[in-house]
Each structure stands twice: as structure tokens, then as C-alpha cells.
Chain A
Amino acid sequence: MLRRIVFTLLTAITLTAQTPFDRLVNAERDPANWLTYSGTLDGQRYSRLTQITPANAKDLELKWVLQTRAPAEPNSKYEATSLVSNGVLYTVQPPNVVVALDAANGKIFWTYPYNPAPSARLCCGRINRGLAILGNTLFMGTIDGNLIALDARDGHTMWTTPIGRPEAGYSVTVAPLIVKDKVIAGPAGGEYGISGFLSAYSAETGKEMWRFNTIPQPGEAGHESWENDAWKHGGGSIWTTGSYDPALNLIYWGIGNASPDWNGDVRPGDNLYTSSVIALDADTGKLKWHFQFTPHDEFDFDATQVPVLADLIWQGKPRKVLLFANRNGFFYVLDRQTGEFLLGKPFAKVTWADGLDAKGRPNRVGHSTPEGSLIYPENQGATNWYNPAYSPRTGLFYIPSWLDTHSINTSRVEPYKEGNQYGGGSATHEVPALRPGPTNKRLPEVGYGAIQALDPKTGAIKWHFNMMDVTDSGVLVTASDIVFAGGREGYFYALDARTGAPLWKAMVGGAVSAGPTSYAVEGKQYISIPAGNAIFTFALR
């Protein structure tokens, strides 16, 4: 009887306080669940589950598939990282359809079919990168500029907060980050000349609690890095989820590029805080420090990558660092307490800069020009929004990479007009920018994709697993030393995290454009990945 009472109590607790913030902070002790975009708040996407090993990975088999219920839109892509809490998997089918399902068998509990406003404007696909969860509430950005809260038990809408006007290009594609009682998110839309910001919203009411302008307004520090009123449409998008250090109480976030993308002449200056990582006080949103990877960017090199937090022995001493593989082709190590530049090295062919100075500032040797300039890496970057991973066991940082790709970057004078794209030029390249075609007939010298393992202490590439086509897949690494990742060719791989040797692969029949998650239900480890228009989940036989 006592046992039943205890079980009832536990069940009640589970239902009423499904995912308190403590669980998010301590997610590394709870590897059966995947509670945030990166699995843990440090952005490492490192699963401590070890049932699947290099020795038995060959025995992985498909357990379930969930197809999208509606015909896929031509501009949609399935980019959402799934969350898993207490055996329930939450995913977002593009553009904004939330599905709660049984994480062990794929059976649907409920769906939430959000219909975005027709005025939504997306430069790069009608996509969503995932949810956040706190308590019994799910949080989702919408492509028409809203942040909404849903009851995780039935999909009921709790509140809706408009973040920006969709008519002006404001959209929310980022998976929000929960910090304490706040939901951190901001708008995308740099290609439409938005003026970006990162904000904290009350998880309970949706009310904005603080805002940090990624394009500093008059009177704010950094505003002097803009001239000609260019700040009014300066971009600074929020595309990808940041990370959080509870001990320092700092939020870290990568900021999008400056607008217009290719014409820097209309915005003299460094254009802070575009193409930067910022460190904000989690309670106030005040800037603690920033580091700008690409001052006065002219190539669409936004810093739309997950800042990965790690504690390393750096030159003989423990150091809290931030690892950042940037779209501009350089890998960076920063001191995450101070923002001090510690190391920067290219991880791909780079021709727009011939190096970094002692403070990490690039020595620019290439520009977008009216006649077009050939630049490595191409404008989609040496990596992009698809997440990296870091393993404290191997000490390696895993980067989904585009290698040897280039584009011709052309600048043009284009006036700002609300709702129109505000690129100030364009980039042409042979590798399709956003999604693959049905076949690949490109020559190898056009460029290729790879998962690269890099030693963050030196920036040296330790191994690379090359693919014929490029990859938009995120990476996950496990405590049993397996790297999971996919690519545009439609393969989903398990690689040896120490050597890069392929251990297993599955053909999922569509491009992998999301990050994997791993979780456990009743003691069985699963690995789940969206691909094409479906989500595929594998476990051992």
C-alpha cells in the first residue's frame, strides 16, 4: 500500500512539476532526458548515456519513424532538435507544428498545428529549430514573429507574445533557452534589415523582463560602431540557441551578421554586436563582455553557432573557456569569464583574412565588391547553425564543416524597403545554399562536407570524416565515445569519437538538417534524428 502511495505521489509530482529549472541545470545527471536544445546548458551536446558503444553500434536498428502529417512546404526543412522529458518526445515539424509523442514507439499524444500569418518573411526557409521546456510548459518561436507558451500535457496555448512584426521580416526560428524563470529568445530577419535584440520573457506570463539590443541604439555602448544611421536596419539576428553558465550567471549567445549583408560601404564601422558572441548577466541582460569574430562583415558570416562552454586545463591551469567554430572559417577559444581571446585557427580554407592578430581581430584581405570577389569559405560558411559537440572524455571538439567551398560575393547598392530583402548584393556558389537537389553531379573540387574533430587546446584537426556532399547536420557525442551526425546525402552515421572511423550508418532517405538527441526509456538508449520530412529513432536490437 505504502509503495502505491509513494508511486502516486511521485506520479503527481511528475505531472505537476515536469521539468523544473533545477533539472535543466543538472541535466548531465539525468541523461535519460534531453531537456534543452543542446542537452545541457553548456551547449556541449554530450550525452552521458553509454549503452550504445563502438563495439555494438553495428546493432543499431530503426525503432520508429514519424512522418509529417501535412505535405511538406517547398521552403520547409526539418531542423528542430527534439526534447525528451519523462518518456515524452516533443518535436516541431516545420514550420511550427508541435508534436508530443511516446519516445519509445513514436505514437502521438497530441499535435499543435500553428498557422503562421501569411505575412511571415523568411530568407532561408520556413523552419524552426526546436522548443524549450520549463515546468509543464513548452516554449516555441514562430516564423511570424511570436513567442508562444504551450501546456506540455495537451498543447493548450498559455500565452502568446509578439516579438517583432512579420511584415518587417521579424521571425523567430531559434529554440529558446530557459534560464531560471525566464525564456531567452530573439528575432531572426537580418536579411530583411531588422534591428536585432535578445530578450528575456517571463516563463509564466510572456512579459518581456529585459532586452539587449544586438544593434546598439543611440546612447548605448557600441552605437559608435555604426555610421550613417545604418544601425536602424543593422540586422544582428538571433538564429541559434545560446548557452548558460550557472556559476557565472552569464548567458552566451552568437549574433547574426550586419545588414545589408554584402554591402559594407553603407555601414562604416565595426557594426557591433553583429558577428559576435555576447556574454550577458542572466538577471539583467547587461553586457558583461563581447568578442566580435568578423568586424564589419561583408560575407554574411554571422556568428550563428552554439557557444560551447568547457573547463579545460589551459597552459597548465584550469580555465573556463568558450569554444566557438565560426562560420567565417576560424575556430576560437575565449576565456568565458572575461572574453579574452586565447586561440584562433582556421579549420577550413580561408581567403578573406590572412590571420588573426593577438587579440583575435582578423586581418582582412578580401572584400565583397561590385564586380564580385571569390572568397573562401563560401557565404554559407565553413560551418553554420548546425550544432557542434564537445566531449570532456576525448577532449575533442566536433565540427560539422563545409570544406573547400567558395562563393563569389557581390556588393550592390540596395535601398532599404520594409519587407523586402536587404542583402546589398549576393553570393553565387555551386553548392546549393539551403537544401540539396535530388542528385549531386558536382565535381569534388567544388567543395565537400566533413565532420572534423579538433583539439581545442591547439586548434589542430585530429581526424576528419569526409562526405561527398556538404552537411547541415548537427553533431552529438556520447560518453561511450560515439559521434552521431548525418549529411545532405541522407546518411546518418555513428563514428568513433577518438578516430572518426565509421561504426554504423543508416540511409534515412532525406537530408539531415537537425541535431541528434539521445535519451533512454525504461533503460533502453535511443538516438533520434529528423531527416527529410520525418524523424527517425534508432536503438540496439
Chain B
Amino acid sequence: MALKSILFSLVLTAVAALPAFPQEGHGFTPAEIQRGGIAYSSFCVNCHGPDGDQISGVNLGSNQFRRAQSDAELIRIIQKGIPGTPMPPGAYTDEQAAVLVAYLRSMATSPRSTRKGPPGDPSRGKALVEAKGQCLNCHRIGHQGTVTGPDLTSIGITRRLAEIEIALLDPSIDIRPENRPVRAVAKDGTKIAGTLLNQDTYTIQILDSNATLRSLYKTNLREYEFLKVSPMPNFRDRLSEQEISDVVSYLVSLKGLR
């Protein structure tokens, strides 16, 4: 069985294992959980962290909530905030709040890790990222590296450990919309590659492989496509199990500029 299939099965297993809501007798669908995860990354992760446990005494990933039992109570907190605490109100629709609840409920049963590797060492991981892994040829960490790949400066805040593992071992399995690669060929034959930033009927905005912001007019292109294969290499065959653990442990420790 290919790694991709294994990982996919793991994800599916995690989803299938989601508990029905004891309070209300129903569960959420994988699509709702996925959508909730994207919303969580956008709205919640900076304070609560990728595993929901970044605030002392609060663990959103435990499916145990001090101020809420039912989905409706969680939705109310998400929308109204908690007066007298740093938890602010948010202008979320009921549906947005509901998919956030779906994701929060799912966190308790989704695996924190997709593999059983040896414990990692962040300092060794840092050295691998900066040397053997050549990660900084594409990525930025703090003031080092470049910008053509996703910024890893806060990757330990925005991604769960399992997500980082998947990104290293099979980077094409889940290309997020913000990292969508684009390939284009101009009418004069010039090849263009980059990351999609925006698009409309007439134009495409990219950050190209030379780290230049470019707006491409479709009338000037011979062809273009949005790639479903990530330009990031698969590190499964490039790094040992120990090295992968080291890199993951380093990336998980990246919490932004201090």
C-alpha cells in the first residue's frame, strides 16, 4: 500500500472514529470538519495553537469545555466571546461557527502524529533544515531563507504535528489553496512558475520562482495550469527516520519571531 493511501486511510480512520455528539446525538461530516480546520487555522490558531492547548488551562483539543457542553453553547461562545476574558466575539455566521465546532470536536480523536518514529531533536533538526534539507532555498524562517515557498516562521503555531509530517513525507497530498503552484508559458515561449496569489477572468497574480510579484494577463499566455503536484520534494527518501523526527521537532518548535 502506498504511503499516500496509508495516510489517506489514517485520515479517514480518524474521521470515521469521530464520536457522535453525546449531547445531541449526531456527528459532523468529514467535509464539515475539513472546512472547520481551515477556519480554525485562520481565526483561532494564533491564540489557541494548532492543538488547542496554547493557552494555560484551556485545551480545546480535549473535547472538554469548561463553559460549554452543547454545540449551541460552543457556537454562542465563538460568536459572542467570553466577556472579561481575552476571548473576543467574532462576526461568524451560524454555519461558520458550526464547522469550527465540528473541527474542535474532531481534534480529540484525530492522531497527534501519523508515524512512530524515534524522538526528535530540535537542534539537529535546525541543522538539517539549514544544510542537508536545503529548506531555506525555498522557505523563510525568521530572517533567513527566501519567500518562494510557505513561510515556516510560525509553522509550529499554524500546523499540527501530524500536518507537518504529512507535508514532509507527501507534500502533494494536501496542497492548501494558499500554496497552489502555477505553471505558465508565455506566447514567446518563456516558462513561468510560481505560487498562485489571486486570479480572475483575465489575469493571474503569482509570486514567481524568482520571488517576484507578477500579474499575468491570460491574453499574453500560450498556456497555464494550476499544478496538483507540489514543487516541494518528498523527504521520505532523502532523510532517515531519525532525521525526519528531528526536522519535525524543530518545525513544531517554530512559534514566530520572538
Question: Which residues of B have CB within 8 Å of A408?
Answer: 29, 31
Give Cα A410 to B28, complex, Å. 8
Question: Which residues of B have CB within 8 Å of A441?
Answer: 177-178, 180, 196-199
The residue of chain A having its C-beta at the shortest distance from the C-beta of B218 within the complex is: A468
Quick one: which of B80-100 are within 8 Å of A by CB? 91, 93-95, 98-99
> Is A75 an interface residue when CB atoms closer than 8 A count as contact?
yes
> B199 contacts which of A74, A438, A468, A491 (Cβ < 8 Å)?
A468
Query: Chain B: how many interface residues by the 8 Å CB criterion?
Result: 27
Encode contact with A along B30-62: 1 for CB under 8 Å, 0 otherwise: 111011000000000000000000000000000
> Is A428 an interface residue when CB atoms closer than 8 A count as contact?
yes
> Is A228 an interface residue when CB atoms closer than 8 A count as contact?
no
Encode contact with B along A402-441: 1 for CB under 8 Å, 0 otherwise: 0000001010110000001101001010000110001111
Give Cα A271 to B25, complex, Å. 26
Known: A426-B32, A441-B177. A469 touches B196 (CB 8 A): no
Q: List 19 A-B contacts (CB under 8 A).
A: A371-B29, A372-B31, A410-B28, A412-B26, A426-B32, A426-B98, A428-B29, A428-B31, A433-B95, A439-B197, A440-B200, A441-B178, A441-B196, A441-B197, A466-B201, A468-B199, A489-B201, A490-B200, A491-B201
Give Cα A491 to B99, complex, Å. 31
Which of the listed residues B29, B35, B205, B226 has the most CB atoms from chain A within 10 Å of its own CB? Answer: B29
A107 shortest CB reach to chain B, Å: 33
The residue of chain B having its C-beta at the shortest distance from the C-beta of A413 within the complex is: B26
> Is B6 an interface residue when CB atoms closer than 8 A count as contact?
no
List the 7 closest A-B pairs by CB distance, nearest first. A372-B29, A439-B198, A441-B177, A489-B200, A428-B31, A74-B91, A408-B31
Q: Is the CB of B32 within 8 A of A410?
A: yes
Q: Is the CB of B91 within 8 A of A428?
A: no
Quick one: which of A60-116 are within 8 Å of B by CB? 74-75
Encode contact with B along A483-497: 1 for CB under 8 Å, 0 otherwise: 000010111000000
> Is A218 an interface residue when CB atoms closer than 8 A count as contact?
no
Known: A74-B91, A426-B32. A440 touches B26 (CB 8 A): no
Encode contact with A along B1-42: 1 for CB under 8 Å, 0 otherwise: 000000000000000000000000110111110110000000
> Is B211 an interface residue when CB atoms closer than 8 A count as contact?
no
Extra 17 A-B pairs, beta carbons < 8 Å, given A123-B93, A426-B32, A444-B226: A74-B91, A75-B93, A123-B94, A371-B29, A372-B29, A372-B30, A413-B26, A423-B95, A428-B34, A428-B99, A434-B93, A440-B200, A441-B198, A441-B199, A466-B201, A469-B201, A489-B201
Question: Which residues of A have CB within 8 Å of B91?
Answer: 74-75
A191 shortest CB reach to chain B, Å: 8
Quick one: which of A466-521 are within 8 Å of B by CB? 466-469, 487, 489-491
Encode contact with B along A113-126: 1 for CB under 8 Å, 0 otherwise: 00000000001000
> Is B131 an interface residue when CB atoms closer than 8 A count as contact?
no
Question: Which residues of A have CB within 8 Å of B196?
Answer: 441
> Is A268 an interface residue when CB atoms closer than 8 A count as contact?
no
The residue of chain B having its C-beta at the shortest distance from the C-beta of A493 within the complex is: B201
Which of the listed residues B94, B197, B200 has the most CB atoms from chain A within 10 Å of its own CB? Answer: B200
Give Cα A123 to B98, complex, Å. 13
Question: Which residues of A have CB within 8 Å of B200?
Answer: 440, 467-469, 489-491
Main secondary structure of the interface of A (DSSP, over half): loop
> Is B232 an interface residue when CB atoms closer than 8 A count as contact?
no
Give Cα A421 to B71, complex, Å. 13
The residue of chain A having its C-beta at the shortest distance from the C-beta of B228 within the complex is: A443
Question: Which residues of B have CB within 8 Å of A434?
Answer: 93
> Is B213 an interface residue when CB atoms closer than 8 A count as contact?
no
Question: Which residues of A have CB within 8 Å of B205?
Answer: 439
Q: Is the CB of B94 within 8 A of A421?
A: yes
A109 shortest CB reach to chain B, Å: 33
Question: Which residues of A have CB within 8 Å of B95?
Answer: 423, 426, 433
Give Cα A371 to B180, complex, Å. 29
Question: Which residues of B have CB within 8 Å of A468?
Answer: 199-201
Give Cα A316 to B72, complex, Å. 59
Question: Which residues of A have CB within 8 Å of B180?
Answer: 441, 443
> Is A442 an interface residue when CB atoms closer than 8 A count as contact?
yes
The residue of chain B having its C-beta at the shortest distance from the C-beta of A411 within the complex is: B26
The residue of chain B having its C-beta at the shortest distance from the C-beta of A444 within the complex is: B226
Q: Is the CB of B201 within 8 A of A413?
A: no
Q: Is the CB of A370 within 8 A of B177?
A: no
The residue of chain A having its C-beta at the shortest distance from the C-beta of B34 within the complex is: A428
Question: Which residues of B have CB within 8 Å of A467?
Answer: 200-201
> A420 contacts which of B31, B34, B72, B198 (Cβ < 8 Å)?
B72
Question: Which residues of A have CB within 8 Å of B226?
Answer: 443-444
A508 shortest CB reach to chain B, Å: 13
Question: Which residues of A have CB within 8 Å of B98?
Answer: 426
The residue of chain B having its C-beta at the shortest distance from the C-beta of A417 within the complex is: B72
Give Cα A35 to B14, complex, Å. 58
Which of the listed residues B32, B180, B199, B201 has the most CB atoms from chain A within 10 Å of its own CB? Answer: B201
Question: Which residues of B have CB within 8 Å of A123?
Answer: 93-94
B258 shortest CB reach to chain A, Å: 29
Question: Which residues of B have CB within 8 Å of A438?
Answer: 198
A371 shortest CB reach to chain B, Å: 6
Q: Is the CB of A440 within 8 A of B199?
A: yes
> A440 contacts which of B34, B35, B198 (Cβ < 8 Å)?
B198
The residue of chain B having its C-beta at the shortest distance from the C-beta of A428 within the complex is: B31
Which of the listed residues A75, A428, A469 has the most CB atoms from chain B within 10 Å of its own CB? Answer: A428
Q: Is the CB of B32 within 8 A of A442?
A: no
The residue of chain B having its C-beta at the shortest distance from the C-beta of A125 within the complex is: B93
Quick one: which of A366-395 are within 8 Å of B by CB? 370-372
Encode contact with A along B198-241: 1 for CB under 8 Å, 0 otherwise: 11110001000000000000000000001000000000000000
Question: Which residues of A have CB within 8 Å of B178?
Answer: 441
B229 shortest CB reach to chain A, Å: 13
A413 shortest CB reach to chain B, Å: 6
Question: Which residues of B have CB within 8 Å of A413?
Answer: 25-26
Question: Which residues of B have CB within 8 Å of A466?
Answer: 201
A416 shortest CB reach to chain B, Å: 13
The residue of chain A having its C-beta at the shortest distance from the C-beta of B29 within the complex is: A372
Give Cα A420 to B72, complex, Å. 9
Question: Which residues of B have CB within 8 Å of A444?
Answer: 226
The residue of chain A having its C-beta at the shortest distance from the C-beta of B195 within the complex is: A441
Quick one: which of A133-178 are within 8 Å of B by CB? none
B142 shortest CB reach to chain A, Å: 26
Give Cα A439 to B213, complex, Å. 15
Question: Which residues of B have CB within 8 Å of A487?
Answer: 201
Question: Which residues of B have CB within 8 Å of A75?
Answer: 91, 93
> A370 contacts which of B26, B35, B99, B201 (Cβ < 8 Å)?
B26
A115 shortest CB reach to chain B, Å: 18
Q: Is the CB of B201 within 8 A of A428?
A: no
Question: Which residues of A have CB within 8 Å of B198?
Answer: 438-441
Give Cα A466 to B94, complex, Å. 32
Quick one: which of B170-209 are within 8 Å of A by CB? 177-178, 180, 196-201, 205
The residue of chain A having its C-beta at the shortest distance from the C-beta of B96 within the complex is: A433
Question: Which residues of B have CB within 8 Å of A371?
Answer: 29
B124 shortest CB reach to chain A, Å: 35
Question: Which residues of B have CB within 8 Å of A372?
Answer: 29-32
The residue of chain B having its C-beta at the shortest distance from the C-beta of A449 within the complex is: B201
Give Cα A420 to B35, complex, Å. 22
